[in-house]
Structure 1
Amino acid sequence: MSQAIVMPRWMDLVLLPLWNLLIALLVAGGVVLLIGQSPLQALSVLLQGSLGSARGLGYTLYYATTFIFTGLAVAVAFHGGLFNIGGEGQATFGGLGVALVALWLGKGLPMLVMLPLVILAAGLFGMLWAAVPAYLQAWRGSHIVITTIMFNFLAASLNVYLLVNWLRPKGSMAVESDEFADSARMPALHQLAEKFGIELPSSPLNLSLLLALLAAFGVWWLLWKSRAGYKLRAVGSAPQAAHYAGIKPRLQVLIAMGLSGALAGLVGVNEISGVQGKLTLDFVAGAGFTGIAVSLMGRNHPVGIILAALLFGVLYQGGVEVSFEVPGFSREMVVTVQGLIVLFAGAMAMVSAPMFARLYASFKRREVRHG
């Protein structure tokens, strides 16, 4: 029988992800070398493009904001014993909620009223879209992975239908909605800085970043400091034991998926209210699936998810710069390198865990002998 992997929390949350990231960068560097490019040059351009300027940092944090939302969504469901891979559809439905509220009420209400309504609509629509697969899992036995995959396609199709037949302005060939009123737009950081006399280069970074950080704090408090979070984690760890303790597993499935969907739906605030200013096709652009890697690499903990989201923000923004600045380095090569980093730093996160557990056990034995 295999022994359980035992190591301290700091090693699991900090040292193991850093080690996996180092291995991922070394393997990615080897691939870059094989295709005839300089790994050091590519890494230098990637870091300079993502962190070396105020504009690049703005784009990096903008990407990271979306990944925090989707990473938290995966983590909440995971702690409830569920694998939610429907973040794409839930984010799409959240964006639809943002658009409907913005288009119907934006011209008649001030920003102080509209922005809370936009945030509430994004969360509620995402929650609604996640609640249906949750109900099917809890009361009808349908597998959550299958239903959430199907609901991704349904959400995308519904978005296309509404844009083409209902929300697209008459006479317009572009498949997108009307522009939102200013009151329904999440303020951009460079616009806010300008009001205080601070000049920042324009970027899509907006106040949704603050919302993402508040959501991360809220998830941490809920899961580890509240009774409701304890019930949710108890069902995720041992549903039968939780049932005997008086906790209702079916209800917890609904709660976990509802919260997960609400967090994914908040992507619509960042993308639709904060950047696009109108409902568009495919604005999620794979962020729901990236959230799975972010959550895995962040060890399903809000702090780890924030750090992992920053890493993926660097990869996305820096990857664009690499494809432009390094001759012969195509966008496909950038995606390949990003995929390797996802593979080693996220999906293979537990491969190195036994080695660290053995090293830690050996160190503790030595400490006992010499103590």
Structure 2
Amino acid sequence: MNNRNTTIKNLAVPVVSVVAGLLLGAVIMLISGYSPVEGYRALLQGAFGRTYNVGEVVRLATPLILTGLGFSIANTAGFFNIGLAGQALCGWIASIAVAMSFPDLPRFLLVPLCVIAGAAAGALWAGIAGFLRAQFGTSEVIVTIMLNYTILHISNYLVRNVFTDKNDATPRISENASLRLSFLTDISGGSRLNAGIFLALIMIIFVWVLMRKTTTGFELRSVGLNPFASEYAGMSAKKNIVLAMLISGALAGLGGVVEGLGTFENLFILDSAPAIGFDGMAVSLLGGGNPIGILLSALLFGVLKVGGLKMPSVGIPNEIVEIVVASIIFFVGISFAIRFIMDKAVMKRVKKGEA
């Protein structure tokens, strides 16, 4: 019975968070003089009104799935990897660099080579924070934040001085390196939906198997629960710290690969680290770190962000969508309060039953 109640609560918390976030968004619309009904109707129309829009929802969700999975690995092992954005950018840079270096390689060789390079680059960048945490106890939060800014400036330097001659964007990659597939473009009404979605689905299965069915996953979960007890049981906490960050960074790097080879097909000057890193954290938290939950959360974020672009058509600024997303994250962040209220309600029902 306890396991059943725990499962129900784990499912209820994200649902309550989403509903509460949407309600808060509606209240803000009312206060601001807008109609919540019209606003959310426009949002749904913007997300599902055309095949193109649906394709863009899935396209936007794809890198969020990968960065969300990356965050869940680190979080399960007891670390807060806030450097997903920088690691995704590393994967983006590496995949574009390989694509530009070998444009004439056959597609069946070049695409896997770019994907592997991107994953390796993300893993390496995250591994810096993992190594420093394992060897010196350095805060991975501070290190990864600093690395986000470091790779952002490195990226902009490479675009202007290495990949191009003072230009703000690289040329588009060759078709041999692109993740876009004609049949996906056709069935999605010309959207930027690409083969990255297949990569994301494979990684969902990989993460589930890794964390639930392997010794490595058991050790990562054990270190996250109690590193001291894990050491006493013969597990190497230092090894698992570095391993968790490497896997986390590799998954985030794949998110950058999808953006580079699938969505934009080039690299350009950025004002800030890619938003997929920070949104991926929110996706993972909303999904409770569960791969299927992350998939559903990423699709929800896709619906909100793509659909929100339609809201100005009824006079509502699409910043309202950002408020809704922030509200959902807020309610996820205070999930302990939601659980407390649910426990109180259950106890009250039990007492009434006894009476």
Q: What TM-score range do you get, normalising by the shorter chain?
A: over 0.9
Partner of residue 338, structure 1: 325
Higher deviation after alignment, 211-220 or 333-342: 333-342
Partner of residue 171, structure 2: 178
Percentage identity across paired residues of the two chains = 32
Higher deviation after alignment, 31-40 or 346-355: 346-355
Q: Which of 273, 284, 296 is the equivalent residue of 2:261?
A: 273
**1:220 corresponds to 2:172:** no
Partner of residue 228, structure 2: 240
Sort the Cα spacing of 1:331 and 1:174 in 2 relative to 1 into closer, same or farther, 3 A: farther
Sort the Cα spacing of 1:347 and 1:178 in 2 relative to 1 into closer, same or farther, 3 A: same
TM-score scaled by length of structure 1: 0.90
Q: Which of 27, 32, 37 is the equivalent residue of 1:30?
A: 27
Cα distance in 1 for partners of 2:40, 2:158 equals 43
Partner of residue 76, structure 1: 73
- After superposition, give the CA deviation of every residue in 1:165-212 in whole Å (9 maximum; x if it has no partner): 1001x4xx5311222111100024xx1257xxx654111111101111
Cα distance in 2 for partners of 1:176, 1:114 equals 21
Q: Which of 347, 351, 355 is the equivalent residue of 2:337?
A: 351
Amino acid corresponding to residue 183 of structure 2 in structure 1? L
Sort the Cα spacing of 1:221 and 1:352 in 2 relative to 1 into closer, same or farther, 3 A: same
Higher deviation after alignment, 334-343 or 179-188: 334-343
CA positional deviation for 1:284: 5.6
User: Paired residues, what number?
Assistant: 353
Matches within 5 A, 1:57-72: 57-72=54-69
Cα distance in 2 for partners of 1:293, 1:200 equals 27
Partner of residue 289, structure 2: 300
Partner of residue 230, structure 1: 218
- After superposition, give the CA deviation of every residue in 1:110-154 in whole Å (9 maximum; x if it has no partner): 111111111111110000000001111110221000000000000
Contact 1:126 1:264 in 2 (8 A): yes
Amino acid corresponding to residue 139 of structure 1 in structure 2? Q
Cα distance in 2 for partners of 1:145, 1:17 equals 25
Contact 1:296 1:349 in 2 (8 A): no
Query: Tell me, what secondary structure is at the counterpart of 2:335?
Result: coil
Cα distance in 2 for partners of 1:155, 1:326 equals 40
Query: Tell me, what secondary structure is at the counterpart of 1:266?
Result: helix
CA positional deviation for 1:314: 0.8
Cα distance in 2 for partners of 1:314, 1:76 equals 25
Cα distance in 2 for partners of 1:359, 1:7 equals 16
CA positional deviation for 1:351: 2.0
Partner of residue 300, structure 2: 311
Q: Which of 86, 100, 119 is the equivalent residue of 1:89?
A: 86
Contact 1:298 1:304 in 2 (8 A): yes
TM-score scaled by length of structure 2: 0.94
CA RMSD of aligned residues (A): 2.1
Partner of residue 243, structure 2: 255
Cα distance in 1 for partners of 2:338, 2:285 equals 14
